[in-house]
Amino acid sequence: MACKRPSKGMKQECAPAPKATKKGAAKKGAAKKAPPTRAAPPRAKAAGTAGREAPRTRVPAAGAPAVGPGAPAPSFRLSDHEGKPVSSADLAGRLRVLFPRPRADAPGCPAETFAFREASAARRAAGTAVFGVSPDRPAGQARFRARHGVTFRLLCDADRALAEAYGVWKTKSTHGKIFLGVERSTLLVDASGVVRRAWRKVKAPGHADEVLAAAPA
């Protein structure tokens, strides 16, 4: 109530306070309580997408099919660890062993190279040419060869020409990652240039002895 200040000798008179209107009360209540937010309706699917599977990981294309026994060995021309050219034409009339590998210091590659180093001395004396092949550059091959006392030549297949021609450039998978790389392999090529034996997905222990035992005397 609103009261008027009384004059001397008169009682204080109070007037009733004005009532709040419905309109004012509504505004006051609206300020205190915000209306609930309405969720946006879901977006409509694009036409023609219903029932489609999620896109799959694209698998890279591998090289040529693997060269097997009885097939002519593809010709090649590469540089060795010293940068000197080596070609299949230079090796005509000689038995040769080619063992492509992912790279010189990849897991398993040193062990495989060491095994050929130990097992191939007698075969090289008999005229068998042994070559390790990897995408490494000449400088990297030379460091690896000097560090580990490798006695045969290492060939540099930086552009993957030999790997693709011999069918050892393959689709590989590691920890869910799909990529292209050199499949560890060994090829025994006879003096007439025909593949005599081929080993795929090679494991190093005992492999060099098996390869050289298969080489004709």
Burial class (CB in 10 A: 0-12, 13-18, 19+), 193: middle
Strand, coil or helix: what is 18? coil
Q: How far apart are the first and last CA of the chain?
A: 125
Give the length of the chain. 217
* Closest-CA residue to 164 (of 63, 74, 62): 63
The reply to whether 14 belongs to the active site is no
Please give the structure tokens belonging to residue 116: 């050929």
> What residue type is 93 in one-letter code?
G
Residue 32 neighbours by CB under 8 Å, 6+ apart: none
Characterise 68 by phi-psi region: left (phi > 0), alpha (psi -120 to 50), beta (else). beta
Residue 3 neighbours by CB under 8 Å, 6+ apart: 12, 13, 14, 15
Q: Which of 3, 14, 109, 156 is catalytic?
A: 109
Q: Which residues are catalytic?
A: 109
